[in-house]
Amino acid sequence: MEILAPCGSTESVTAAVRCKADAVYLGAKGLNARRNAENFEYTELKEAVRYCHERGVKVYLTVNTLVSDSEMKEAYDTVDEAMKAGIDAFIVQDLGLAKMIKACFPEARLHASTQCSVNTPEGFKALEELGFERAVIPREMSLDEIYEIRKATSMELEAFVHGALCMCVSGQCYLSAFLGSRSGNRGLCAQPCRLPFSADSSGTCDLSLKDLSLISRVKELEKAGICSLKIEGRMKRPEYVAAAVTACKNSLDGNYSEAEEDRLQKVFSRSGFTDAYLTGKRNDMFGTRTKDDVISASEVLKELRQLYKNEAALIGVEFDFICKKNEPVSLIAKTDTKTVSVTGMTPEKAINRELSEEELINRLSKLGSTPYFIKDIHITLDGGLSLAASKINRLRRSAVEALSPEEDKKYIKLPLNTIPPSKKAEEKYYTARFSDASQIPENHPFKRIFLPVYADSNDLLKHGAGVEIPRGLFGYEDKLKTRLTQLKALGIKTALCSNLGAYKTAKELGYEVFGDFGLNVFNSESASYFNSPVLSFELSSKQINALSKEDAGIIAYGKLPLMLTRNCPVKNNIGCEKCNKNGYLTDRKGYKFPVKCSPFPCVEMLNSVPLNISDRQEEFGCAFFHFYFTDESNNEVKRIINSFKNKTAPEGEFTRGLYFRGVK
């Protein structure tokens, strides 16, 4: 199995490689999900790739953020430089970016980031159809669910085995963006979830999880079809990287111990580790970074630096040395992946002492601080010859240098083509989703309405509603297919989908499918994949107006879902009985964030106040406005509709969201 290490700096690359990682992942400046890491300028990136490839280690570049239309050229240039440097694969979240890479750099290898939010077998099939060769599975999956994914796709599967564990499903967190304009989907998450968000108003941190560690269970992951063990932590120090890589290596070799786990916990943890998602026993998962956690790290840092102090000889080399009369000497060097040949001076006739095999083997074995070790040396030597030691050493050095990777990789590059501007809608229409049929007013103005897929069938039929499919479907895809098949037979025709798996499933069952906000449509390329998509609400009004898609919309009203989580923070703290499906979290400033559950396996945390642009509709050039109704009464819905019809200012507390301030 591949051990894949996080590298936010050059020193971390050294630590990972010397501790025998098989691959590393890192980011260039900008356009990656850890923009606050040190990251790599192009010259540094090129040197990192050369260093790693010389030692047989692969390098994957993270371009795993949402990319706007205005940034697509920058993304193209980044991929171009990375291809030139010899990057082995690109880790991608944005489907529009993936489309651009495949079109312009057909030889590029794509790995789907866990930020793609794919959590069902059909979703992984969809990624494979889009050209991805590997996918990172969500951290929230159980072992049984991993087996289901393995059966569904021939793609390589990669799993996080150690590091920070976010409360929210990757790619579906908007909390940092809304509270401070620092988007987790754009690589600048401020981690507000580690602050107090309490279900009982006591100031507890009910959104902060312990760190993940599955290092003791890597053999189980191997049996489940995982090919790559991914360590989280590009923001963490090199000593952490060294400790985690060494622990993974020892676990694969059967040598992982409690003492090593203790060392890992000391270098970084949040009240210990958890494996609860893998086992499906999601209790005792919550923890924070304590003073004791910080103090314990200082105890092991010096020890951990010793793990990568010296160069590690990682690559075996065979030498064939040929020394014959009246011919230039030659040295052939072979590794598992490359063979080179160098020639030197013609040997002289020995006067005092002739050259021996023992001396040649001794000279050729001196590989010093190179990444190579001797596997075998073959000598072809005529008698009575002499060759200076300096010339033998020079020959050996030349051969080793020739084994180094080529300076620039050759690859196919096609020009970047942009989607031409689309015609803007002269008159907008309205669509809506409702949590409950009782909210739907008579004579409503909506062209399309949707109710949750688990809503009463009679309500769906009565109101001519389509079904809204939940974003989190872990292990529930068969249940969803059964429900959709029943509803289709009853005459339900439309579906609103927020993830690739649901979109693919509903389409194959004959529904007219519409794209929802959870697909994170952020540019014209990604918009082209989906029918009448609701665009990402992290886009600014300027970006929305510049986007090329004739029938795209935005959420114009609603308490937006800021988190999607498989582990209910309210249930963990006060229990379901006290919550009675009316739970909420209170932050340190006293704002209350409703938490909504469903028959499907995830809960959503909503914003404390609704988004509302009723009096600023004219500033948007999209085709339709989508209303996201959650806990509003029927009368409140009527009032909101009237305010949009009359274009009057919102009543009560509200937010403009990110439309006029944008995200970083």
Closest CA to 305 of 7, 55, 15, 48: 15
Look at the block and give the residue holding tokens 């580790």. 273
Q: What is the pTM of this model?
A: 0.93
Q: Do the Cβ atoms of 214 and 606 come closer than 8 Å? A: no
What is the pLDDT averaged over residues 348-372? Answer: 91
**What is the secondary structure of 165-180 as a DSSP string?**
--SSPTT---HHHHHH
> Mean pLDDT over all residues of the chain?
94
What type of residue is 554? I
Residue 173 reports pLDDT greater than 90: yes
In degrees, to the nearest 5, what angle opens at C-alpha 646 toward C-alphas 642 and 647?
110
- Say if CB 558 and CB 630 are below 8 A apart: yes
CB-based contacts of 496, cutoff 8 Å, min separation 6:
433, 448, 450, 466, 467, 468, 469, 513, 514, 516
- pLDDT > 80? residue 39: no
pLDDT band of 159, cuts 50, 70, 90:
very high
- Under the banding of pLDDT at 50, 70 and 90, the label for residue 407 is low
**Stated length of the chain:** 664
Per-residue pLDDT of 316-347, as tens digits, reads 999 999 999 999 999 999 998 899 999 999 99
pLDDT recorded at residue 7: 96
pLDDT in tens, 64-97: 999 999 999 999 999 999 999 999 999 999 999 9
Q: Rounded to 5, what percent of the chain is helix, strand, coil?
A: 35, 20, 45
Q: What percent of the chain has pLDDT over 90?
A: 87
Confirm if 153 and 134 have CB atoms less than 8 A apart: no
Long-range contacts (CB closer than 8 Å, 24 or more residues apart) made by 190-198 = 193/166, 193/167, 193/168, 193/563, 194/288, 194/289, 195/587, 195/588, 196/587, 196/588, 197/569, 197/585, 197/586, 197/587, 197/593, 198/573, 198/585, 198/586
Tell whether the model's pLDDT for residue 627 goes beyond 70: yes
Whether 412 and 424 have beta carbons less than 8 Å apart is answered as no
Of 420-429, 478-487, 604-613, which gets the smallest average pLDDT?
Answer: 420-429
Q: Which amino acid is at 35?
A: R
Residue type present at position 362: N
Q: How confident is the model at residue 524 (pLDDT cuts 50, 70, 90)?
A: very high
Distance CA 538, CA 554 (A): 10
Predicted pLDDT of residue 424: 76
pLDDT in tens, 194-225: 999 999 989 999 999 999 999 999 999 999 99
Quick: pLDDT tens for 525-537. Answer: 999 999 999 999 9
DSSP 487: H
Percent of the chain with pLDDT over 70: 99
**Beta strand 330-334 with 339-343: parallel, antiparallel or unpaired?**
antiparallel
Dist CA 371 CA 541 (whole Å): 53
Tokens of 52: 């790693």
Other beta carbons within 10 angstroms of residue 197's beta carbon come to 26
